[in-house]
Amino acid sequence: MSIHPSAVIAAGAIVPASCSIGPFCTIGPEVVLGDDCNLISHVVIDGRTKIGARNTFYPFSSIGVAPQDLKYHGEPTLTTIGDDNTIRECVTISRGTEKGGGHTTLGRNCLLMAYAHIGHDCHVGHQVILANSATLAGHVIIEDFATVGAFCPVHQFCNVGRYAYIGGGTIVTQDVLPFSLTSAHRENKAFRLLLAAKLNTTQALEAITQLEGEDAAELATFISKSTRGVIK
């Protein structure tokens, strides 16, 4: 096992022999690391946190730390991270809150660029990219293959659909449609019905449900489940 002598690993933490723990890393007593994880240096992993295999954590990332929520009072909530993620410098991932479901999750094969933040009770899917300083407030859902651009804050309880691409600097206060580009013209017929036709959202949804194809069906389902309304 490669553990730098300045690293602090609490009794009770599970760290496989295949892991590399660099200088000045701190691992809490309820942390479980998967095989072949690499903590480069100055990484903090705390709380009831379970991490999959082959994850790389860059300096000053803080994982499973207490949520930035005044209602949190030390409850034993969870953080779960899948396999093969790259978590760059100064990324923060907060554990869940008791009233928010108690669990923050990150899928597999994700890239979290420097200073990205995943707030409490968020659920981030697979192969997601959070660019530099993308910020997810609590209770956000990011579906698979989505990209959140640099300096994008995402409001609490918003959902971002599959394959959505949010351009840098966009303030997200409502749900983001799957397959959409937030700052580009949409070419798909379903998007034209929603965005360009003289229809309100309810009328557009009725028209979209008549279209053939799995993508149109997924778009219609996403709109119908939205509780905050969708960005148009």
Catalytically active residues are 120-121, 138
What distance in Å separates the CA atoms of residue 217 and residue 201, rounded to the nearest whole number? 15
Q: What are the Cα distances from residue 101, in Å, to 47, 65, 79, 112, 120?
A: 16, 16, 11, 23, 9
Nearest to 125 by CA among 155, 160, 100, 98: 160
Core vs surface per residue 127-161: b (16+ CB within 10 A) or e: bbbbbbbbbbbbbbbbbbbbbbbbebbbbbbbbbb
Query: Kind of pairing, strands 103-106 and 147-148?
Result: unpaired
CA–CA dist 20, 59 (Å, integer): 13
Q: Which residue's entry shows tokens 């760290």?
A: 15
Spatial separation of the C-alpha atoms in residues 149 and 182, rounded to whole Å: 10
